[in-house]
Amino acid sequence: MSALLSGEELALRDSVRAFLDRKIAPLVRDHEQAHTFPWDLLPEVYACGYVRGGVPEALGGDEFPMIAQAILMEEAGRCWGSLRTTVNVQGMVARIVAAAGTAEQRERFLAPVLAGRRFGWFALTEPGAGSDAGSLRTRAKRTAGGFIVNGSKIYITNALGCDFGILFARVVGEDDADEGVTALLVDRAESAYGVHDIPHMPLRATTSCELTFDDTFVPETNVLGEIGGGLALGMGAVNVGRLNMAMGAVGLSQACLEESIRFCTQREQFGKPLAAFQLVQQMVVEIATLTETSRLLGYQAARAIDAGEPGRYECSMAKLYCGESAGRAATLALQVHGGAGLMEESPVERYFRDAREATIPEGTSQIQILHLGKALLGQSAMR
């Protein structure tokens, strides 16, 4: 794929890969087993362009083109799924605060996020509202000086490790008039809410949490953007999140390919390397083909955004194909490894678990199909 990248883009890929291989990769196994995450290393990770790359230079970011951010996410996915999802969420939070925050909000939240001193959660999904984000039931009722929030959110990545977050809630007036879904900055230091982890299969160094709000007060100064403008803010971030998920899946497929090549060239059966067997070659070639075609779709989506296009169609297609392909690549990699691939000491055991997540967050594969169907046929199958 070197012909698709400029010299500067190739240098970015190589330097980030070298950093992650040297600094992060040796820590993965221990953190996965302990279900912990090295939050203290994120400032060094951000120095590579993660999180800061999606924020304008005028606001303290690095303002990377989308293709550079796509390269970064691919390398994060190749290294460690838990890292990829962590920087993805922090990047979404940073983008929204940069785009809609007041000067005071940017000083309180954005600047410390970019420095790796504060970490934020992104709370859109509810127990009864996942793909249908417009049906949110969490309510923020107007009161003197702010809002009283009641409701819950679910599957919120790393909420246990964060000290604030962006909450999407339906604002209602004192007469119960619906004023629309609104983004609120919820600071743990001033607003009490419940948070607990839900044990989950993939990304074991992250938490996937339920948040509960029981008459939680949020100051009026913490409204992010316009009242009723929350869904537009949230879905704008989710579109980039889809590309990030897609490129993370490309990186995971690349890791499956590399580990499969390493294993089958070293392992012998029936007096010759596994690599010499035709059916093994077939599986490795399929992994390689899935990886390369996924990368093409991801790069195309990134280039579309850099060209000034919305990129929604391209991001949805990349999210659909790359996520499904990563699952297939991980299945094949595990099959290449045989019984060894089922053991936790093998990286493909982790790849297999993490790949299953690639088809769900930021819109399931089925939701992406419906978005693409509407774009192609002009008819919505949802509403």
The type of residue at 27 is: L
Identify whether the C-beta of residue 176 lies closer than 8 Å to the C-beta of residue 55: no
Instruction: Give the tokens for residue 127.
Output: 């127990």
> How many C-beta atoms surround the C-beta of residue 266 within 10 A?
10
User: Which class for 372: exposed (0-12), middle (13-18), buried (19 or more C-beta within 10 A)?
Assistant: middle
CA distances from 331 to 88, 235, 255, 294 (A): 24, 31, 13, 16
Cα–Cα distance measured from residue 121 to residue 97, given in angstroms and rounded to the nearest whole number: 12
SS3 call for 121: strand
Helix axes 66-79, 278-306, angle to 10 degrees: 150
Cα–Cα distance measured from residue 191 to residue 40, given in angstroms and rounded to the nearest whole number: 25
Cα–Cα distance measured from residue 336 to residue 274, given in angstroms and rounded to the nearest whole number: 9
Identify whether the C-beta of residue 348 lies closer than 8 Å to the C-beta of residue 259: yes
Whether 174 is catalytic: no
Angle at 332 between CA 334 and CA 24, to 5 degrees: 60
Residue in this structure with the two tokens 């044990």, named with its chain if needed: 199
- DSSP annotation of 102 reads -
Cα–Cα distance measured from residue 82 to residue 86, given in angstroms and rounded to the nearest whole number: 6
Backbone angles phi, psi at 22, to 5 degrees: -85, -40
Instruction: Give the tokens for residue 199.
Output: 């044990």
Catalytic residues: 362
